A and B are shown apart, each in its own frame.
Chain A
Amino acid sequence: MSRKLEIIVLAILLIFAVQFFYISSTTHAEYGGADDKPAGVIEQITGGTYKPIASSIWVPPSAEIESLLFALQAAIGAGIIGYFLGYYRAKSHYENNIGCKDQRKSEVGKNIL
């Protein structure tokens, strides 16, 4: 089985990891969320006159709870992907095997007749 694609993807992930270690050790990057940054730009553009028209109905009470919920989201997704890929893999494996056996049986049957 060719593993060319796996190797390429692994290499890309490695480069990504090296990038992180390099940047984080050479700069004082804060690694804040890019999604939160527009708020500052909006304040700058409007001169602080823009007031958000709504606020979140519920905010995770701490960073720990927030990371818990993000991890939960990823875990649910990963579980579903793993379940179905595993299910299909096993299914095609057994179908092929049983299919082969049936074929062999019918061949044996033919020989007897």
Chain B
Amino acid sequence: MHIMEGFLPAIWCAVWFVISIPIIALGIYKLNRLVKEKREILPLLAVAGAFIFVLSSLKLPSVTGSCSHPTGTGIGAIMFGPAITAVLSTIVLIYQALFLAHGGLTTLGANVFSMGIVGPVVSYLIYKAGMKAKLNFYFVVFLAATFGDWATYIVTSTELALAFPAGGILSFGGFLSSFSKFVAIFAITQVPLAIVEGAVSSLLFKYVVEVKSDILVEMKVIGEPLVRKLRGLSA
């Protein structure tokens, strides 16, 4: 989902920066407030950030014969919300742009928007809806992480298609034509990877619930009765 350095015209680089920067700013504000109020969440924040670090570094071979990587943002989105996850993703994307020539500084805004904002928002909404529907907790985490990952790549395809519509002029038909080409690269490649990401995310969540559920309850991520039920089942 990394759009390579230089591969968006300047105007689109600017558009995605303008959209992403306020959300990163909101994330930094929320992060500061959260850390000031509850210092004990810091380790959990580090775990959520580290998970993004690990998963986004793993390039996995997919059914289409090309390699792509998961995003790892689902856990952060569920625990801390999309805005704070945008900040964590930005850190990872800057690391990769500077040291790995993956993504870039000009395309940072676009990449933050897909991986750090839309993906986590989708994860967060699916998590909330799934919890309301009282589905199995780990299955909800799985769905949230899986579709968050997939949404990220759909957004990347959209960003590319908006910048490079067929025929050179941005029209709906031109956009669709280009979108289908870009989405063909990512969408199917990403299906198995998104499923693996969802599975691993739900497993990590299980361990966090086992060892540190009190913070999750305090942050209102999950309710006390559910924790007792989950730990009762797994104890």
Contact = CB atoms under 8 A, between A and B. Distances in A.
Interface of A: 1-2, 5-6, 8-9, 12-13, 16, 19-20, 23-24, 27, 29-39, 41-42, 44-46, 50, 52-60, 66, 69-71, 73-74, 76-81, 84-85, 87-89, 92
Contacts of B50: 76-81
Interface of B: 1-10, 13, 43-44, 46-47, 49-54, 56-68, 95-106, 138, 160, 164-166, 168, 178, 181-182, 185-186, 189-190, 192, 195-196, 199-200, 202-204, 206-208, 210-212, 233-235
Given A53-B106, A55-B5, A88-B211, A31 B196 contact: no
A62 to B, nearest CB: 12
B201 to A, nearest CB: 10
B50 to A, nearest CB: 4
A66 B100 contact: yes
A99 to B, nearest CB: 14
Nearest to A76: B53
B18 to A, nearest CB: 17
A34 B53 contact: no
Closest 4 interchain pairs by CB? A29-B65, A52-B6, A77-B53, A77-B54
Given A2-B234, A45-B166, A58-B99, 11 more contacts: A12-B199, A19-B63, A29-B65, A31-B66, A34-B185, A35-B1, A45-B181, A50-B164, A54-B6, A80-B50, A92-B212
Q: Main secondary structure on chain A at its contact with chain B?
A: helix
B51 A77 contact: yes
B67 A85 contact: no
A26 to B, nearest CB: 10
Contact of A54 (B5, B56, B181): B5
B186 A34 contact: yes
A41 B186 CA distance: 12
Contacts of B66: 29-34, 37
A16 B192 contact: yes
B211 A85 contact: yes
B199 A56 contact: no
